Amino acid sequence: MVRTQVQLPEEQHRALRKWAGRLGISLSEAVRRCIAERLPQEEKAPTRAGKTPSRAELIRNALSVVGKFRDCEGRSDVARNHDRYLDEAYRS
């Protein structure tokens, strides 16, 4: 084990001590359990700033770029002929 010092706000410290007391475990064990529960969730999900974006946020972010960029070759039918242009790009 590695010894680590952590500073907590009083409210978190109080709540953690209360929870540890109810379970009959040390404060250190309570911290380890919190970390063990949370880290696997964080590692599975794509996150930004520790937060998994909601479906609505993903849609809003995708829609925010619509119409912002122009084709450098001046094409205006990219939506209709996307597959053809993509094929041409990969062949060249």
Q: HEC states along the chain?
A: CCCCCCCCCHHHHHHHHHHHHHHCCCHHHHHHHHHHHHHHHHHHCCCECCECCCHHHHHHHHHCCCCCCCCCCCCCCCCCCHHHHHHHHHHC
For residue 67, pLDDT beyond 80:
no
The pTM of this model reads: 0.47
Q: Bigger pLDDT: 12 or 85?
A: 12
Instruction: Give me the number of domains the chain comprises.
Output: 1
Domain presence at residue 1: no
Domain presence at residue 5: no
Percent of the chain with pLDDT over 70: 93
pLDDT value of residue 24:
95
Q: Which domain holds residue 21?
A: 10-91
Domain presence at residue 84: yes
Q: Bigger pLDDT: 92 or 91?
A: 91
Domain presence at residue 4: no
